[in-house]
Structures are given as C-alpha cells and as structure tokens.
Chains A and B, each alone.
Chain A
C-alpha cells in the first residue's frame, strides 16, 4: 500500500513541516570580524589590521577612532614596564536594581575583558614612571558609576602614596544613569581626591579623548594641571543635541570640539595620537622634582 502517490504525499508533508519550522537564528560570530572598517571621518575602507597598527587613526584623513584601553596602554607605556594596578572595588553593584543592568555589565565584562570602564596601570613613559588610568568607551560609553569613581579615586590615592605623576585618559558620556545619584556623587569623590592630590604637590595630566562629556567633564576631566586633548574630540558638559533643543538654533561647525576648547582657553594643547607619547614624556621630564638642587 505504498502507492507512489502516498509516498509523494509523505515527502511533501515532510518538506512542508521542515519549511514551517522556525529556523534558529545563526548568531554572528565575533571571532571573525569584517576584514575592513569604514572610517568614520572620510568613509574609506581601511583594513582592520592596518587601522589597529595605526592605533585606530585613519591613514587617509587622520580621523581618531576610539582606542580600547589595553591598546592605549600598550601604545603609551614603555615595553615591559606596564603593571596593571589592581582595584579593590565591588564590580557590578546595582544600587537602583535597574532592570537589565547587571546582565549588561556581565556581558560587557566578557566582551571587553575589562571589569568596568576604566583600566589603570603603572608604567614608564619615556623612562619616567607614572600612574596611567584609561577609560574605555566600549564599556557603556565609558560612563562613571560607583566602580569607575572608585577606580579613579584609588588610582589618585596610589599616585599620591607612591609620589608618582598621574595621567588620566578621559572618554565618557558622563555619569552612569543606571546607578542614579550614586553616580552623581562619584563626581564629588573623584574631584575631592584630585584636590587632595594637587594640594600635596602631585602632577595630574588630563588627556581628553572623544567623547568627554557630562559628569566626567564636570569633574576629574577638567581638573588637570595640564590638559591635553585629541583632535576633534567632543568635549563639553551638555551634549550638542540637548543644547540645540534648548536654544533652538544650530550650533557652529566645530562647536565643543578639542580645537574649540583650546581656542576658548580650556585645553593647553591638542595633540594627535601619534605624538601623545612624546608629549607626555616631555611633560613628565619638565615636571621632574628637585629643580635647581638637581643641577
């Protein structure tokens, strides 16, 4: 009774069932990222490896793309001199019990290999030792919650104790909304720590990278003895969109960019990424303690 018609029906049924079954979505494997990246400045395709070799600066137009914290540290610190500073922080605190926040933190921690949006190391720049904290915008836009505030404060305190210069690379959208007023208070915490450090004679160099806005710009980013900035970095308290909505007019070209801040007196120098190490080494040299006595 296996007539050819029946066989055919069975075959069709089986095919139909297969067709109607929901197919599992194939996750995009991050193991093999696209080999080319489109430059955010000029739109040209750049081989991923080449962009990494240039520390995320476009070889065609010089556009500075965000640089992950570990890459920044390896670019900056003399080979073999870097030592990551362990931070005693309760990573993943969730004071507001904000929906999805802990999961997001856990995911980002896996993805970036960082504990939170800041990484601190002690190392040498041009042979001179310094404490270097680097923010990473891959981690929730480098926003400052309790873990970031605490990590920065501990870096400042370590620099004070070890009598070392402190360099902080800022890259942040501001205070971390998901931690509410606790984030707000990190502004006071970091500023207070830096004031104390400054009163004790410590040298603090702030390097503002794209973007440095909100609560981070209104605290430790703006308290440097020397303030450097990367070209075209967005730096400001309120974001341009909010300002545009508030005042109802379009903002001038280059508003709140690094060069604009230099023109208005809030940045000592705009330094391209490939000259940063040399500039920082020079600054550390200029601030060697001792003065005349060491002549």
Chain B
C-alpha cells in the first residue's frame, strides 16, 4: 500500500534532517538511511487500483491553481453564475495558452482545511456548474477554446444544492457542452466521480493523468450500494475499472498523460511539461477542424460509448 510507504518515506526524511554526521560511524548510518530512502522511492509506484485511488486523492497532487500558474499566463478569474452566487469549488477564467486566449475551468478541492471549507472539498453545487456553463458560453461567443481540469469527489449532496436544481444544472451542462462550437479539451487530473465530474467533461479530447481515476461514483459509494459495506472500497476499486488504463481500453477517454515516477506530486515540473505538450498538440489539431466537423465528431464520440453492438458485429 502506498499509504504506508508514504509514512515510511516521511519518517526517513525527517530522520535524515535531524542527522548531523560527524564521526565515521554516523556518516555511514547517514549514507545507509539515504540509500534506504532511495530504495523506497524506487518502490513508490501504484500497483493496485486502490493505490491509484490513494494517489489520485493525494493532498499534494497538483491542483487547478498549480496548473493555471504553470501552463497559462495573464489568467483573469471570472466569478459567479449571475443567478445566485459564486461557487468556490469551481474556478474559471480567461488566460493565454502559448499566446492564444483560452477559457480555463476546473474543480478546486483545496489543500488546507480553511481552503477545503472555502471550496467545499471540491464538491460543486448547481451554482458551480452554472458558472462553468456561463464561462463556456462566453468562450463560444469569443471563439476561445475551452480547457477543463476535472478533480472532484462528486457534486455536493446537500439540501440547498437540491433545492436549486443540482440535477438540472448538471444535465444542462452535458447537453450544452455537447454542441459548443469551440474546441474543448478535458483533463482528469485527480479523481473524477459521477455526473459532478462529467459536467465538465463532455469534450473533444478527454485525457487522464496516468494515475487519475474516473468513475460513476466513489469506490466507497459503490461498495456501500452494491455490497452494503463501504469498507470493501479497495475491492470495489479493483472491480470498477476506474483507472486511466481501464477507461482507455473501454474507449471512454482519448489519451493518457504519463506522470513522473512516484506520481505527479513527486515532480510537478516534469508533469506540467507533459501536460503542456499534450494540450498544445490536441488543441492545435482541434483548432484546425471546421466547426460543423468538430461538433459532429464530438457528438458521435459520445454517441458510440457503450454501444457494444458494433463490436459484436465485427
């Protein structure tokens, strides 16, 4: 399990910091610890779906703000849905990507507790989705490509959220996104759970980071609904086919962005370079397409998902 590995690495790192090798014996021990640490880090790679779930939710994993800082310039944040309020769990705005104006939208979970609370742990209400839709419509008006970053445990299951039409907000996004006349690229960076994730993910190119997950709901929810036992989540994760590799095989996503050894948080810079290159090439190809061809291809892509008839006929 990666979680235990994480604690052991942390222990060794703090031990190293406390060491002040002076004698030969101490230097020997220091080198030994250092070597142990290196070995552990070499071992640090997800082996099971449960490990992927852990990595996808890692608190140090790059988040929407990191991506905005690293990949874009001149970011201007737009707030509010113009109907009710501003939802902090979805961040959006206009920025330049390689000099080209784009609209950037993404879920925000927050790292510290105050941040978590301010953005509701990345669980948007209808206001968040309506803000996203407002920005996407604006992008369409000005002919800007849209880039979305998906990382959410799901839409917020709260009283007010239901009162203001959580279901309607998500449904509207799905329908509208399917016919927007500008290129859309979505990247699942962490966890993508339920309609709350898909509401930013009806895109021309849907990419996933190597260790991201994307599913109909959280493995805990899956285990609790089907087996009435949420503690069996690790087993559920294995069963659900929620890894990037599984989704690519099922034909539900278009590509995987490789992560540095040990996951995105171990070397964010290396990850950003990968993301930048992939985004650039995807956008370049999409921007060349005629509008009608673009929307038709997007429609057809989602139309064919789960249509197993075709496979059988082959």
A-to-B contact residues, CB < 8 Å: 88-90, 93, 95-96, 98, 145-146, 149-150, 153, 175, 177-189, 191-196, 198-199, 214-215, 217-223, 235-239, 242-243, 246-247, 249, 251, 255-256, 264-266
Contact between B239 and A89 (Cβ–Cβ < 8 Å)? no
B25 at the interface (CB under 8 A from A): no
Tell me which of A145, A194, A237, A255 contacts B170 (CB under 8 A). Answer: A237
Contact between A191 and B178 (Cβ–Cβ < 8 Å)? yes
**Chain A residue contacts of B239, Cβ below 8 A:** 96, 98
Q: How far, in whole Å, are A265 and B241 apart by their CA atoms in the complex? A: 38
B285 at the interface (CB under 8 A from A): no
Contact between B178 and A215 (Cβ–Cβ < 8 Å)? no
| Cross-chain pairs A/B with CB under 8 angstroms, 11 sampled | A90-B311, A96-B240, A175-B217, A186-B306, A187-B174, A188-B305, A191-B178, A223-B172, A237-B161, A237-B162, A238-B157
Given A195-B179, A237-B166: A146 and B195 interface contact (C-beta under 8 Å): no
Tell me which of A90, A188, A243, A256 contacts B178 (CB under 8 A). Answer: A188
B272 at the interface (CB under 8 A from A): no
Q: Chain B CB within 10 Å — which of A145, A149, A188, A221 has the most? A: A188
Tell me which of A88, A195, A237 contacts B155 (CB under 8 A). Answer: A237
Contact between A185 and B167 (Cβ–Cβ < 8 Å)? no
Q: How far, in whole Å, are A264 and B168 apart by their CA atoms in the complex? A: 12
Contact between B172 and A222 (Cβ–Cβ < 8 Å)? yes
> In the assembled complex, how far is the CB of residue B70 from the closest CB belonging to chain A, in whole angstroms?
28
Given A180-B241, A222-B171: A186 and B195 interface contact (C-beta under 8 Å): no
Tell me which of A189, A199, A237 contacts B303 (CB under 8 A). Answer: A189
> In the assembled complex, how far is the CB of residue B69 from the closest CB belonging to chain A, in whole angstroms?
30
| Chain B residue nearest to A215 in the complex (CB) | B195
Tell me which of B214, B216, B247, B307 contacts A215 (CB under 8 A). Answer: B216
Contact between B167 and A222 (Cβ–Cβ < 8 Å)? yes
Contact between B159 and A247 (Cβ–Cβ < 8 Å)? yes
Contact between B225 and A188 (Cβ–Cβ < 8 Å)? no
Contact between A237 and B159 (Cβ–Cβ < 8 Å)? no
Q: How far, in whole Å, are A88 and B174 apart by their CA atoms in the complex? A: 24
> In the assembled complex, how far is the CB of residue B195 from the closest CB belonging to chain A, in whole angstroms?
4
Interface residues of B in 168-220 (CB under 8 A from A): 168, 170-172, 174-176, 178-179, 194-195, 198-199, 201-202, 214-217
**Chain A residue contacts of B198, Cβ below 8 A:** 184-185, 187-188
Tell me which of B158, B242, B306 contacts A149 (CB under 8 A). Answer: B306
Tell me which of A146, A177, A222, A256 contacts B162 (CB under 8 A). Answer: A256
Q: How far, in whole Å, are A285 and B306 apart by their CA atoms in the complex? A: 36
Contact between B214 and A181 (Cβ–Cβ < 8 Å)? yes
Please report whether the interface of chain B is mostly helix, strand, loop or mixed according to DSSP.
helix
Contact between A251 and B159 (Cβ–Cβ < 8 Å)? yes
Q: How far, in whole Å, are A288 and B176 apart by their CA atoms in the complex? A: 26
Chain B interface extent, by class: 35 or more
> In the assembled complex, how far is the CB of residue A174 from the closest CB belonging to chain B, in whole angstroms?
9
Contact between B217 and A218 (Cβ–Cβ < 8 Å)? no
**Chain B residue contacts of A178, Cβ below 8 A:** 226
Q: How far, in whole Å, are A162 and B302 apart by their CA atoms in the complex? A: 23
Given A181-B216, A264-B165: A195 and B305 interface contact (C-beta under 8 Å): no
Q: How far, in whole Å, are A109 and B250 apart by their CA atoms in the complex? A: 25
**Chain A residue contacts of B202, Cβ below 8 A:** 188, 191-192
Contact between B167 and A189 (Cβ–Cβ < 8 Å)? no
Contact between A95 and B306 (Cβ–Cβ < 8 Å)? yes
Tell me which of B164, B194, B225, B308 contacts A184 (CB under 8 A). Answer: B194
Contact between B306 and A264 (Cβ–Cβ < 8 Å)? no
Q: How far, in whole Å, are A131 and B298 apart by their CA atoms in the complex? A: 26
Contact between B159 and A181 (Cβ–Cβ < 8 Å)? no
Tell me which of B179, B201, B303 contacts A153 (CB under 8 A). Answer: B303
Write out, one digit per residue, whether chain B residues 140-169 have a CB within 8 A of any chain A CB (1) or not (0): 000000000000000111110111111110
**Chain B residue contacts of A96, Cβ below 8 A:** 239-241
> In the assembled complex, how far is the CB of residue A34 from the closest CB belonging to chain B, in whole angstroms?
28
Q: How far, in whole Å, are A191 and B201 apart by their CA atoms in the complex? A: 13
Contact between B164 and A264 (Cβ–Cβ < 8 Å)? yes
**Chain B residue contacts of A256, Cβ below 8 A:** 162
Given A93-B308, A98-B239: A246 and B171 interface contact (C-beta under 8 Å): no
Contact between B217 and A189 (Cβ–Cβ < 8 Å)? no
B299 at the interface (CB under 8 A from A): yes
Contact between B216 and A196 (Cβ–Cβ < 8 Å)? no
**Chain B residue contacts of A223, Cβ below 8 A:** 171-172, 175
Tell me which of A88, A177, A179, A199 contacts B217 (CB under 8 A). Answer: A177
> In the assembled complex, how far is the CB of residue B312 from the closest CB belonging to chain A, in whole angstroms?
6
| Chain B residue nearest to A192 in the complex (CB) | B178
Q: How far, in whole Å, are A196 and B178 apart by their CA atoms in the complex? A: 9
> In the assembled complex, how far is the CB of residue B38 from the closest CB belonging to chain A, in whole angstroms?
37
A sample of 12 more A-B contacts (CB under 8 A), given A181-B241, A182-B252, is: A95-B250, A177-B222, A183-B216, A192-B302, A196-B299, A217-B171, A218-B167, A221-B171, A222-B172, A238-B155, A238-B166, A246-B157
